[in-house]
């Protein structure tokens, strides 16, 4: 076989290998983006739990704590659940628990993964 012909055939093989690997690489990249978005939502859920606990520490009204959690972050309020427990007299501890169902809406990857349920909890001392 002539050297020039062999080089052209090998060049076509490299192009074919790239064409076969490119969809797998794109899917992996989209998966990394989706994981990053879920991690971002987890950080926001932790922040919402802190805000709810802070509000529950100064107010006995649980609706104010829920409003503080929803207003503190860009989380979708219809996917967010806030519960307050343990509030007693001044000096006791109050715990706010936030549950958030994060959406997986990155193209291609979102259809393959279920929506993860994220949990965050914060505890603060009740103020007088």
pTM of the entire structure? 0.82
| SS3 of residue 92 by DSSP | coil
Q: What is the pLDDT of residue 108?
A: 87
Residue 6 has a pLDDT of 62
Express each pLDDT in 67-95 by its tens digit: 999 998 889 999 999 999 988 898 999 99
Task: Report phi then psi at 80, rounded to 5.
Answer: -105, 135
- Looking at the DSSP bridge assignments, the partners of residue 82 are 98
pLDDT value at residue 10 = 61
pLDDT score for 4: 60
pLDDT at position 9, please?
Answer: 57
Half-sphere exposure of 15 (CA within 13 A, CB side): 6
Spans in the chain with pLDDT lower than 50: none
């Amino acid at each position: 076989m002539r050297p020039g012909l062999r080089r052209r055939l090998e060049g076509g093989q490299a192009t074919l290998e790239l064409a076969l690997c490119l969809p797998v690489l794109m899917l992996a990249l989209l998966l990394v983006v989706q994981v990053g978005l879920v991690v971002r939502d987890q950080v926001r859920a932790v922040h919402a739990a802190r805000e709810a606990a802070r509000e529950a520490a100064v107010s006995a009204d649980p609706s104010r704590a829920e409003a503080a959690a929803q207003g503190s972050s860009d989380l979708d309020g219809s996917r967010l659940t806030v519960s307050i427990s343990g509030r007693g007299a001044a000096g006791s501890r109050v715990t706010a628990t936030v549950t958030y169902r994060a959406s997986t809406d990155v193209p291609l990857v979102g259809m393959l993964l279920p929506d993860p349920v994220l949990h965050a909890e914060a505890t603060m001392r009740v103020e007088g």
